[in-house]
Structure 1
Amino acid sequence: MKPSAPFPALMVQGTTSDAGKSTLVTALCRYYRRQGVSVAPFKPQNMALNSAVTVDGGEIGRAQAAQAAACGLEPHSDMNPVLLKPNSDTTAQVVIHGKVLQNQSAAQYHDYKKVAKQAVLESWRRLTGQYSMVVVEGAGSPAEINLRAGDIANMGFAEAVDCPVILIADIDRGGVFAHLVGTLELLSASERRRVVGFVINRFRGDIALLQSGLDWLEAKTGKPVLAVLPYLHDLYLEAEDALSTRHACSANSAAFHIVVPHLPSFSNHTDFDPLQLHPGVQVSFAKRPEQVEGADLIVLPGSKAVRSDLAQLRERGWDSFIRRHLRYGGKLLGICGGFQMLGRAIADPLGLEGAPGQAEGLALLDMATELQAEKCLKRTAGRFYRQSTPVAGYEIHLGLSSGPALSQPLFELADGPDGAVAADGQVAGSYLHGLFDLPEACDALLDWAGYRAESAVDFNALREAGIERLADCLAEHCDFAKLEAGVRRFRSEQ
């Protein structure tokens, strides 16, 4: 018989963005899975361009897919029922239950929240009916006064489902006591009662020097400090949204140099994590070509707004840089939106990523792309075309490409050929995200690009080791007896 969960639900909220919510939820999920508890992750609303394809053919935030792995589960759209994928500073593509609803402005989405809340609660009911424990991740901070009305991401959700809350803050940023006490002060009385304790994240140094502050914090707030988690150097976890370079190997003059144009709507940054972790590779993300000195390989990344990013690519001079790179024998790879840019034209007759219209592509592959209303969402695997080397990943795109270039595909996947390789072998592209994740595939792609030294890291094994390390850290530093007592006390006061 499996052990029962100590409580059916627990939510982690942060005093700021990047306080450590995702990592703490991941650690809690693996910790309770180790205890034999049937546990699942949940994030009511997420805003991220790093998404993952789910087992039910939807898309969710990348962090929730990693948390599902920590639970030993396949990611499901119920784990992140509302996903916002920014198109610009003021608009986002709204994804509900894994499927695209429409593009909305911030004001439109604010009005839509009542409907979105019902989608959140539907997913919540399904998850809590299936698993004995659900660990919930908040978004940003619960103390954003302008976002409190109609909130479905933080305390608004916790109040709706009557869920206890851990509040986490990052001491490495400084001001940790002000963050925690200030956040509590901006909550309502019922919301403050819901906070069962604090976690202080990324601490460096002698814990004895922090103790007086911890004592003051507990006396001031009446809330226990559940854990002070140390700063874990060289921990690998996929970034939820912003481009991360913290895992990049130290640059050296002998490294194989990969240049990635950092365009405004650059998406699925995690495609490049295996390359950043590669001991023989240097990855440079540059907004303009003058910021880099040459390249062995250029990779055009995924994009949330392909025509707009293509215009920026030209405006910044990347097209000239790419053509000069090819003249000198360099290689060029396009991924998803970057693959579409390599063709002759990109048409968006429905205005799915901006005003309806068509843009001229780079014309490096003989094909054209038309954006279509139904997004392609699938996980897939296969092999390199006419080779035995395996590859695996996922597709998230609106476009359908056609043309003679596709007769020489890059991959042969389970449901057919994918991508294209130019006749001269210098230019290639694919719709497949995660194409570097398998070490054999990463080695094969780098070999095509001209690198033949050290082998790639095992990306999936590295992620699993990171999850295990997080759970070990939590088991050592968290007072679970205090946590369970805090939840019981909160329940008794209801």
Structure 2
Amino acid sequence: MTFPFHTLMVQGTTSDAGKSTVVAALCRLLHRRGVKVAPFKPQNMALNSAVTSDGGEIGRAQALQAQAAGIAPHTDMNPVLLKPSSDTGAQVIVHGKVRADMNARDYHRYKTSAMEAVLESYARLRAQYEVVLVEGAGSPAEINLRARDIANMGFAEAVDCPVVLVADIDRGGVFAHLTGTLACLSESEQARVAGFVINRFRGDISLLQPGLDWLEQRTGKPVLAVLPYLHGLHLDAEDAVASGQSAKGAFRVIVPVLPRISNHTDFDALRAHPDVDLQFIGPGRPIPSADLIILPGSKNTRNDLAWLRQQGWPDAIGKHLRYGGKVIGICGGFQMLGASVDDPHGVEGAPGSMKGLGLLDMATELTQQKHLLQVSGRCEFSTGDATVSGYEIHMGVSTGAALQRPAFRIEGRPEGARSEDNQILGSYLHGMFDTPQAFAALLEWAGLDGAAPVDLNQLREESLERVADATQPLLDALMKTLKAS
């Protein structure tokens, strides 16, 4: 089939409007038709990331979109990734590798060079695939960010591609979002908007129709599709901590929402299990009793460790352990469990050292080299032969006696640590709950006997199929609209 577009960009009126999901759904629909399609996000700002087949790092959402397209994730799919380490600074990753740490002003000046990297990656994808589906970032209506823009209309103008504008009706104000965003664009940018997508609609569509008619008449742009609100999806979040409730089982797991929490998709399988009540505990909230406490990954380990102390987590963890509870630390959370976290090179801020929680006999030194690995192995804490797979993304090396009792054996080498009383487990391995065997073994270690494993990849595939089915009207409308133009 001949497509009326080789590149299509999906932009949103706000962050979390549904751009990532729409791109994933379109990738799956085209993949079903046998079309060679690739996702692309010029610039992503996210602390959820994935390790690619070529040994680099990209946003988690682009890895999901690659899965929807039936291909392996590659660094060209997200050539510029920003990982915030503070309110004004971020680690800048270009073509999968750390380029530098920059404040907002320095990065704004760097955007000209970043655009060169973006166009290089786009050209390579364009040469390999029939269709490239591009996801914007945030909103194209951010007037203060329009100069040197590489994430939205700046890219669309550079490659001359049509744009679809997505708005989330569940948040309210959808007509204001769409008309206001369009009004903030230049004439040439307005001209390349092929139409609107209203996302997450629930209710009687006939009651919405007068608004749709008004929108089309006022803007001269078609409403390409009204997509339904789909409950129970299991898709990787790009960045924001999921706000929906978990399965609310009897086994309670709590996770502190660190200011720089990273890769909280580690807990998606737990959220999906019917026997697990997973709760993210934000600032100022009381820390409830639990069966398992998990300290998540962090983009700024020392600052997030200081935040834990301010919020009273060390005392809560101590009480939890005295009553026989279990604790897991992942990546930055693993580093916090040791005696100290040293940053002599200023990797995550000013050089210095901070006392850790002192729960594992080890110390960590942050290093300038980032470890990026896709790995597999077995669970050392399991009485069976449970396998595990996942990925490592960290800047630091941990040493000490606790590592002589590893949590996993990864491709023949020991990985992670356990306390002598077996109440505490730490690891650099992200995605440890995603493998069904490891999932069941970890819950059994934590005290939930006989829990059926969750196959997160299967749930992800089922969700991709659901969103693709729901998005079919959009693809049909795009084929008709863009062919006519």
TM over 0.5: yes
Cα gap change, 1:14/1:287 in structure 2, threshold over 3 Å: closer, same or farther? closer
Cα gap change, 1:289 to 1:150, in 2 (>3 Å): closer
CA offset digits 1:325-382 (Å, max 9, x no partner): 1122111111001111111121111000011011111222111111111100111111
| 2:474 paired with 1:478 | yes
Partner of 2:432: 435
Deviation at 1:453, TM superposition (A): 4.0
Residue 265 of structure 1 aligns with an amino acid whose one-letter code is R
Q: Are residue 374 (structure 1) and residue 369 (structure 2) matched?
A: yes
Q: 1:38 aligns with which of 21, 31, 36?
A: 36
Contact kept, 8 Å, 2:3 with 2:479, in 1: the verdict is no
Partner of 2:154: 156
Change (3 A) 1:124 1:415: farther
Matches within 5 A, 1:341-356: 341-356=336-351
What residue identity is the alignment partner of 2:255? V
**d(CA) in 1 for partners of 2:186, 2:447:** 60
CA gap 1:463/1:359 in 2 versus in 1, 3 angstroms: same
Match of 1:450 among 429, 447, 450: 447
Q: Tell me, what secondary structure is at the counterpart of 2:369?
A: strand
The CA distance in 2 between the partners of 1:418 and 1:449, in whole Å, is 19
For the structure 1 residues 4 and 290, does the alpha-carbon distance in structure 2 shift closer, same or farther, using more than 3 Å as the test? closer
Amino acid at match of 2:401: P
Q: Is the CA contact 2:43–2:150 (under 8 Å) kept in the aligned structure 1?
A: yes
Give yes or no for contact 2:444–2:451 (8 Å, CA) kept in 1.
no
For the 8 Å contact 1:289–1:318, the answer to whether it is kept is no
Deviation at 1:238, TM superposition (A): 1.2
Give the equivalent residue in structure 2 for 1:179. 177
The C-alpha deviation readout for 1:214-239, integer Å capped at 9, x for no partner, is: 22222222211111111112222111
Look up the match of 2:9.
11
User: Aligned AA for 2:461?
Assistant: E
Q: Contact (CA 8 Å) 2:199, 2:228: kept in 1 or not?
A: yes
1-side partners of 2:180 and 2:318: how far apart?
Answer: 54
Q: Which residue of 2 aligns with 1:388?
A: 385
Query: Matched residues in 1 for 2:342 and 2:186: separation?
Result: 50
CA distance in 1, matches of 2:284, 2:172: 35
User: Contact 1:332–1:426 at 8 Å: present in 2 too?
Assistant: yes
CA contact (8 A) 1:439 1:456 kept: yes
The answer to whether residue 430 in structure 2 is matched with residue 464 in structure 1 is no
Q: How does 1:305-454 map to 2 (within 5 A)?
A: 305-385=300-380, 387-414=384-411, 416-454=413-451
| Secondary structure at the counterpart of residue 210 of structure 1 | helix
Q: Are the counterparts in 1 of residues 4 and 482 from structure 2 also a CA contact under 8 Å?
A: no
Q: 1:43 to 1:370 in 2, by over 3 A?
A: same
Q: Which structure 2 residues correspond to residues 46-57 of structure 1 after superposition, within 5 A?
A: 46-57=44-55
Structure 1 pair 46/36, CA: closer, same or farther in 2 (3 Å)?
A: same
Q: Secondary structure at the match of 1:291?
A: coil
Q: Which amino acid aligns with 2:105?
A: A
Contact kept, 8 Å, 1:164 with 1:195, in 2: the verdict is: yes
SS at match of 1:293: coil
**In structure 2, C-alpha distance between the alignment counterparts of 1:452 and 1:369, rounded to whole Å:** 33
Amino acid at match of 1:390: T
> What is the alpha-carbon distance in structure 1 between the residues aligned to residue 10 and residue 245 of structure 2?
25
Deviation at 1:485, TM superposition (A): 4.0
Question: Which range moved further: 158-167 or 453-462?
Answer: 453-462
Which of 99, 102, 115 is 2:100 aligned to?
102
Q: Aligned residue for 1:202?
A: 200
- Cα distance in 2 for residues equivalent to 1:428 and 1:204: 43
Deviation at 1:101, TM superposition (A): 1.1
C-alpha distance in 2 between matches for 1:344 and 1:262: 22
Q: Is the 8 A contact 2:287 2:316 kept in 1?
A: no
- The equivalent position to 1:123 in structure 2, one of 113, 121, 126, is 121
Contact 2:246 2:279 in 1 (8 A): no
Residue in 1 aligned with 2:225? 227
Q: Distance in 2 between matches of 1:378 and 1:310?
A: 25
Structure 2: unaligned runs, 5 residues or longer: none
In structure 2, distance between residues paired with 1:320 and 1:214: 55
TM-score, length-scaled by structure 1: 0.95
Which whole-Å CA distance do the structure 2 matches of 1:315 and 1:199 have between them? 43
In the TM superposition, structure 1's runs of 4+ consecutive aligned residues that sit over 3 Å from their partners are 3-6, 287-290
Question: Is the 1:258–1:282 Cα contact (8 Å) retained in structure 2?
Answer: yes
CA deviation after TM superposition for structure 1 residue 456, in Å: 3.1
Amino acid at match of 2:474: C
Question: Against the structure 1 CA distance between its residues 186 and 415, is the aligned structure 2 distance closer, same or farther, given a 3 Å change threshold?
Answer: farther
Residue-by-residue CA offset, 1:114-163 (whole Å, 9 max, x unaligned): 01000100100111011111000001111111111110000000000111
Distance 1:181 1:315, change over 3 A: closer
For residue 293 of structure 1, report the CA deviation from its aligned partner.
Answer: 2.7
Alignment RMSD (CA, Å): 1.5
Aligned residue pairs total 483
Could you state the TM-score of these two structures normalised by the residue count of structure 2? 0.97
The AA in structure 2 aligned to 1:36 is G
Deviation sequence 1:243-273 (CA, Å, 0-9, x none): 0031511x36xx1111212221111111111
8 Å contact 1:169–1:176 — kept in the other structure?
yes
Asked whether the equivalents of residues 12 and 167 of structure 1 are also in contact (C-alpha less than 8 Å), the reply is yes
- Pairing 1:133–2:131 present: yes
Report deviation, 1:169.
Answer: 1.0
Letter in 2 for 1:381: S
